[in-house]
Amino acid sequence: MASSRFFLMLVLFLLSFIFNIHHSHSQNNTCLSENQKPLFVFGDSLFDSGNNNYIKTTTFFQGNYHPYGKTFFKYPSGRISDGRVISDFIAEYADLPFSPPVYFNPGNLRQYSYGVNFASSGAGALPETNQGLVIDLKTQGLYFKRVSKQLRQKHGEDRAKKLFSTAVYIFSVGGNDYASPFYTNPINATVVLPYPPQNFVDFVTHNITTVIKEIYNEGGRKFGFLNVAPLTCSPFLRTLASGTSIEACLKAQGSALARLHNDALPKSLRKLERQLKGFKYSVFNFYDVLLELIKYPSKYGFKEGSVACCGGGPYRGDYSCGGKRGIQEYELCNNVDEYVFFDSPHPSERAAQHFAQLMWNGNQDVIESYNLKQLFHL
């Protein structure tokens, strides 16, 4: 039995290796064309393409087992999704290979010239968020500086400077900082937060802007962000609420913190735009777009906006998908494309594509400043 399990894991690893090598070399040329700009990816599970496969963490923050990856990849790639995540679609729209996890093949600088994925499922802007189990944002920034040094040594200062100044840097971060205090507490109970709400938001946004400045100092100029979702309206946190209506989940502390963050982040970015020459940014209104899908799924071609495809309990929200997070039994829907959520905290591949399309070419209804297509063409 043990040998069979080892053989299965070996096969999955080799499949992952072969797929990423093939995809990252799907273009014949070994360097970026004039029309291509690198994509560097930071943040959490909405963007993580498999970094948590390679760190000492728990299955709570991993997606390297069935049924994750069941649609597009046909095997568990490490993405906490049935298929691709938002950052994968952004890479496709930019005519780039998927940004490889920073842990995947650190010696392959040719891959790194197209960009790198530093995101880690469960990560936050605060180092104490899921500390020791994830790659926090500050550490992701340090890894970027290591990659920057490698690329400068490989390409020379002038070419590296052009590479970093034309690249786009996208972030999905903050949600775990605000959601983690509620994981084991009823949503409608008063949870003792680590800081007063406004201070909490200020600490998170300060840490984000600190990493932005570090990337700017390395040459980065174009940055894209998701704001934070209505956290307590996900199936995962909604199951903890004694009142499960949309009104109740929006009034809960977690969603209230998200709104505070979503007010503060653009203000910080506008300030950076005034301070840093050449700084450009995009903010995608993930909060309102996801809430719209939850409330009116059929308007966008989904059948279910509140219940997850994979899981158990009310809303399939107990985060049991895959049976490796303490609850072995779980349900799996027949057609994941009908669901906004694949598991209880995470969107399905089809929902991720919906978000990515709006990030790429959305208008001022969902985007502040530039959309990502405009950033890539600046």
Q: Decide which of 310 and 194 is more confident.
A: 310
Active site residue 45: yes
Q: How far are the Cα atoms of 16, 45, 76, 376, 377 from residue 373, in angstroms, in the given order?
A: 29, 23, 30, 5, 6
Give pLDDT tens digits for 335-372.
999 999 999 999 999 999 999 999 999 999 999 999 99
Size (the chain), residues: 378
The active-site residue, picked from 77, 343, 344, 369, is 343
Give pLDDT tens digits for 286-295.
999 999 999 9
Q: Decide which of 106 and 114 is more confident.
A: 114
Give pLDDT tens digits for 296-343.
999 999 999 999 999 999 999 999 999 999 999 999 999 999 999 999
> Could you tell me the pTM of the whole model?
0.90
The active-site residue, picked from 346, 348, 354, 369, is 346
For residue 117, give the 3-state DSSP assignment: strand
Active site residue 337: no
Q: For residues 213-232, b (16+ Cβ closer than 10 Å) or e, as one string?
A: bbbbebbbbbbbbbbbbbbb
Q: Domain 35-286+349-377's class?
A: alpha beta
267: part of which helix (H) or strand (E)? helix 253-275
> What's the pLDDT band for 100 if we cut at 50, 70, 90?
confident
Residue 43 has pLDDT above 90, yes or no: yes
The active-site residue, picked from 16, 45, 113, 120, is 45
41: part of which helix (H) or strand (E)? strand 39-43
DSSP 347: B
Which tokens in the block code for residue 103? 């842990």
**Would you give the distance in Å from CA 96 to the centre of its chain?**
18
Rounded distance between C-alpha atoms, residue 207 and residue 275, angstroms: 17
